[in-house]
Amino acid sequence: MSKGPRDVFKLSHDWLSVQEVVDAVSSPSCGAISVFIGTTREDEADSRKVVGLEYEAYEPMAQSEFNKLCADIRARWQSVTHICVHHRLGWVKVGDASVVMAISSPHRHDGQQAIQHCISQLKANVPIWKKEVYDTQEANWKENAECSWSTQKKPPENTLSEGKPE
């Protein structure tokens, strides 16, 4: 495997392994691995309980946007060594991880800042959509408030009445 910087992005219908993501960024030159795990939370909307999320993505564009995100992270924090993001597609039940990401760096400060930036920008720019599924068997597509193409700049608990965001 190359000793240079690694950027790994994976979309998967399978359960996400935190250890696999951590292993992808491990390096003897790094004293810090910053990790973010985003899980599906039990939430309530209009007296309906969220039982899971359904994710879809436009995969070629998602990869392209991830590459841009990695370039941006590396421009801001030159000490970042490796970046890895795994994101689920399909059904994700409450409590399961929807996204796992890790960034390695020689020291914790840059990695911690980079991981925060990474999740914010992933939600804002990478074309991955989620649909909340409720205990009533109803479902609504959700927009991330950070999303650059969002039709609504409101908190994420608001839903679209029909269709997936464009």
One-character DSSP codes across 95-137? TSEEEEEEEEESSHHHHHHHHHHHHHHHHHHS-EEEEEEETTS
Residue 107 marked ligand-binding: yes
Is 6 annotated in a binding site? The answer is no
Distance, CA of 57 to CA of 146 (rounded, Å)? 17
Strand partners, 104: 33, 82
Q: Is 123 marked as a binding-site residue? A: yes
Question: What does residue 71 show for φ and ψ, rounded to 5 degrees?
Answer: -60, -40
Instruction: Tell me whether residue 130 is annotated as binding.
Output: yes
In whole angstroms, what is the distance from residue 61 CA to residue 64 CA?
Answer: 5
Nearest alpha carbon to residue 20 among 4, 37, 3: 37
Residue 153 annotated as lining a ligand binding site: no
- The span from the CA of 148 to the CA of 9, in Å, is 21
Bridge partners (DSSP) listed for residue 44: 49
Rounded Cα–Cα distance for residues 114 and 69 (Å): 10
132 annotated ligand binder: yes
Residues that constitute the known binding site: 107-108, 123, 130-132
Known binding-site residues for substrate equal 107-108, 123, 130-132
